[in-house]
A = this chain, B = another copy of it.
Amino acid sequence: MKKIIEFWFDFSSPYSYIAGEHIESLAAKNDAGVDWQPMLLGAIFKASGSAPLTLRYPPLAEYAKHDFLRSARFCNVPYNPPDPFPVMSQNTARAALWIKTNQPEKMGAFCRAGMRGLFVHNAVINDIAWIENAANTCGAAGKAAAAACNDPLIKDALKQQCDTALAKGIFGGPWMIVEGEAFWGNDRLPQLDAWLAKGSF
């Protein structure tokens, strides 16, 4: 049976964006699939007593901002630092959950479009009109996906999604799980790749 990479990410996480640009090709070359799992790192950080990198100890925040750009260059991914940052992205995550349920074949494209929207085009990706347009561009039902942002059931599903992440021991993003093995961070893609290629190591 095909192995599945659970890819837990936040639309406003720089390292999630960088990893998200490569996760499909990494999966494909190892004959694996990707299960896109949006979460809100704000909720994860609150529960785990942490904070966004750019709001921590000032030298760490400075290093992180520099490393986002350098890591993007190293990984051959375009990156334009959004300002303001961090930003809200709960609507984007809700629309993604709707697409995942109703048009799963469009999920990867929408997730990548959301992160590119923020980290390449500096768009306000939490904006309902932006979401509708982005979903349409991905071939999804933009109006319905955008409407999901205000659907109490979808709001609940996103909360549930964050609780599930916490229950799995997730404390940051991107977070990849294959056959129960967890890999945290864009910089663990080489280990994930080796794990898929060898079965384990």
Contact = CB atoms under 8 A, between A and B. Distances in A.
A contacts with B: majority SS = helix
Given A62-B169, A63-B169, A63-B182, A191 B57 contact: no
Contacts of A170: 59
Interface residues of A, number: 26
How many copies of this chain?
A: 2
A183 to B, nearest CB: 9
A10 B70 CA distance: 25
Nearest to A50: B57
A65 interface: no
Contact of A48 (B60, B187, B188): B60
Nearest to A64: B184
A171 interface: yes
28 contacts: A48-B57, A48-B59, A48-B60, A49-B57, A50-B57, A57-B171, A59-B169, A59-B171, A60-B171, A62-B169, A63-B169, A63-B171, A63-B182, A63-B184, A66-B182, A67-B184, A70-B191, A70-B201, A71-B191, A73-B201, A74-B190, A74-B191, A74-B194, A74-B201, A185-B187, A187-B187, A187-B188, A190-B190
